[in-house]
Structure 1
């Protein structure tokens, strides 16, 4: 006879939460009427195909695909393709292009699952990729027991030692745990939410000290002045020579060997100026989403080279849909939403400085001439069929979707001083900028992204723009 803890590994626990849909912590189920934030009209065949591919990925693949901790993006890619109207063929093509290099899923350790369930000290198991399957099963069990909302409240959103620790891990790994969670919450898929919490748990807490220090300094009696706009913080960062020069091209890690080694106090002081009141939450979410889109787009220029989006900063816009979903969740305290938003803006600033504080060429963005010439589409969404044909690991379509969502959330605030991309024409140019760059790179087998674009050396492998 197997012990109870062993049974948990081989048999799914008896259902204790009655779900309004067929989606459970162990089963993906997409329905066409839930098409995600863009609200596009989707079909049953596409929903069924995406459901099948997501189930295969979560059951068969580890969250990392190598020992360096590079992430499996299939969940993000499939759901973004699905939510932007991709065909079943597009979905199959994307999955097949990325499944071969994934690591095989491990089996959960039943004894550790049992220890986690009974409130043992997690420190022995956190931050280690080999424990992903074990945390995945633990969070599946918890969601089965109390539901995904209460599981998130207990293990992530709670303002206690464990919650704050998990929050710092959520922002690690170039925001990938947060990105995984955004897709689970956006489509109300408990299985993806369990995987996101597990992914969070196996990331290191490298940013805990920084985020904690910034939050404490923000509340101190000698706190620096509160920011006026997010964009103003970037301008102040560039004016601060010590901060601007803190990251070097030859640093092994441009955050830890660069910013935190040469200008740690200055970085914490700048981050402490990020303070968001509950009464301004909605507008500050819009401002953060907008500015992330602006930074990613305006940093794509480095004449005479062809434009390219910066790889790390791109994640800081593709993660923003999380906050569009977060703000609509009435069961999450507004104070919690504000705290998460503050940490996102602080991480945005940190990564911008670490990437060499690239020049933000709003003039070149406004004046960008798409390669389609005068035959431009009427709205960015009309470009999705072409975007779906770009073969990568999902970053292109995720970025395109995030830009379009940024355009939508900006509209009510177009007359605000913080708005940098104005009008439908400029937003359309930003999406064309992405499409032109990545179609060309895909066609020529070249580099789609530039890494650390604030350094001239980063552009050496990017071709010169054709005049």
Structure 2
């Protein structure tokens, strides 16, 4: 074996058996895991690593094979489901190909944004993690000044911007590596970051890196404080993320001149309104513990997806493809922020929030009718098709629909696991986790924010969102046909009407 080969992690080292993150707020692995399902998962991850490129076409659409495999496995899917899902996703992947040249510590900045060098970056970050460890490499190549500001002029490397580019896919991919303790996913996530283009300069300008890397401001130090009693829902001083969301919705400068060209909408939003969005995210108050701040972002993004997607009584959810990614990506914030410094966490969370708001705006900035949403939606789904017949003495009574579906999440996740859509298990896993963490939040918890109707928000938001999503995507286990594509029509009509 050559010296270079000896300095890289083997496939078995890249993809060991997953173990859950110990970071506060990280998700569980659901019961259902078996030795066979673990081996099938590792086989698929290794195959994906060796055979496929990170983009499956020339439009830079992302390879999600590993994401859906890990989400399904963590929900308890057996090996046959993992195998079928990976076979489906492999059918349209693009084969990996060698980079024109090797990536080294000397030239790693020279080919940023060039997808032809993906394999080169894979090998480079493999070597770096083998030598220095994942946490150190993540910090050095995403969060340091050197990774973001060019020394002596020239284009900035802008690695944190790249990390948040591509509808947050580099963050998602890296997040899977941290959450499941899989070095291979971290290697792939960093390589994916390197080949993404810079898309969000106005949202996360280089000026945020001007301060000393080693010096944390007072606000950032307070983030690590313990014993603070207020939750983000309860704090009375400062600006909550939901208040920022309300202010963005009310600002008529944001969301003007949108068309049905979705990519152009996002780039125009960042170009013309990025400085305004950053002004709003700078208003967001950092207080308490990191998990409290992550929770604020979770509520904001689920409100955007679920309540923004609710278009009136009796209408199906507008299950927006782009808003859905705001929810799935938020699942990894807990795993990320507890692996980096407080200063880096602040940059990450503010940048992430800015991206989320830009996506909300560019898809039409729909009205958030919280009161109407709660009046129309349910926390007790009735799956279609034949239903069980509870026996006499069943609690709470044989005739109660609760006796048929006593826990809505079991029904939702059962049909999710066998659905062919590769994003659905990621979304429902995130929503079920948030129901576990925040399901006990009472109405009135957010009454002190400026978001209209926020006093109605409570912990049932997540199950309501999951039920609406299942109704839209199809109860396939129960015999309904699937919706083959997430909604991409945006909210341009509804946002225009809301301003009339």
Check whether the contact 1:227–1:233 (CA below 8 A) recurs between aligned residues. no
Residue of structure 2 equivalent to 1:454: 491
Provide the secondary structure at the position in 2 that maps to 1:272.
helix
How far apart, in 2, do the equivalents of 1:33 and 1:213 lie? Answer: 34
The 1:430–1:264 alpha-carbon spacing in structure 2 relative to 1, beyond 3 Å, is closer
Q: 1:315 aligns with which of 304, 309, 325?
A: 325
Check whether the contact 2:158–2:206 (CA below 8 A) recurs between aligned residues. no
Provide the secondary structure at the position in 2 that maps to 1:450.
coil
Count of aligned pairs between the two proteins: 428
1:292 aligns with 2:301: yes
Residue of structure 2 equivalent to 1:391: 420
Q: 1:235 aligns with which of 246, 271, 275?
A: 246
Which whole-Å deviations, capped at 9, do the CAs of 1:243-288 have from their partners, x for residues lacking one?
142533357610223x2455454334333323535x4433111111
1:355 aligns with 2:363: yes
Q: CA RMSD in A?
A: 3.2
Greater than 6 Å deviation, 4+ residue runs: 32-36
Query: Which stretch of the first structure deviates more once superposed, 47-56 or 415-424?
Result: 415-424
- Give the Å deviation of 1:424: 5.5
The 1:14–1:78 alpha-carbon spacing in structure 2 relative to 1, beyond 3 Å, is closer
Name the TM-score, length of structure 2 as normaliser.
Answer: 0.77
1:400 aligns with 2:411: no
How far apart, in 1, do the equivalents of 2:259 and 2:281 lie? Answer: 20
The 1:126–1:48 alpha-carbon spacing in structure 2 relative to 1, beyond 3 Å, is same
How far apart, in 2, do the equivalents of 1:14 and 1:112 lie? Answer: 14
Residue of structure 2 equivalent to 1:156: 142
- Give the Å deviation of 1:14: 6.2
The 1:31–1:403 alpha-carbon spacing in structure 2 relative to 1, beyond 3 Å, is closer
How far apart, in 1, do the equivalents of 2:445 and 2:482 lie? Answer: 41
Question: Which structure 1 residue ranges, 5 or more long, are not aligned?
Answer: 219-225, 459-467
Check whether the contact 1:421–1:427 (CA below 8 A) recurs between aligned residues. no
Residue of structure 2 equivalent to 1:462: none
- Give the Å deviation of 1:217: 12
1:436 aligns with 2:471: yes
Question: Which structure 2 residue ranges, 5 or more long, are not aligned?
Answer: 150-156, 212-236, 385-400, 496-500
Check whether the contact 2:415–2:475 (CA below 8 A) recurs between aligned residues. no
The 1:123–1:440 alpha-carbon spacing in structure 2 relative to 1, beyond 3 Å, is same
Query: Which stretch of the first structure deviates more once superposed, 422-431 or 412-421?
Result: 412-421
How far apart, in 1, do the equivalents of 2:209 and 2:337 lie? Answer: 24
How far apart, in 2, do the equivalents of 1:102 and 1:412 lie? Answer: 42
How far apart, in 2, do the equivalents of 1:231 and 1:89 lie? Answer: 42
Q: Which has the higher helix share?
A: 1
Residue of structure 2 equivalent to 1:339: 347
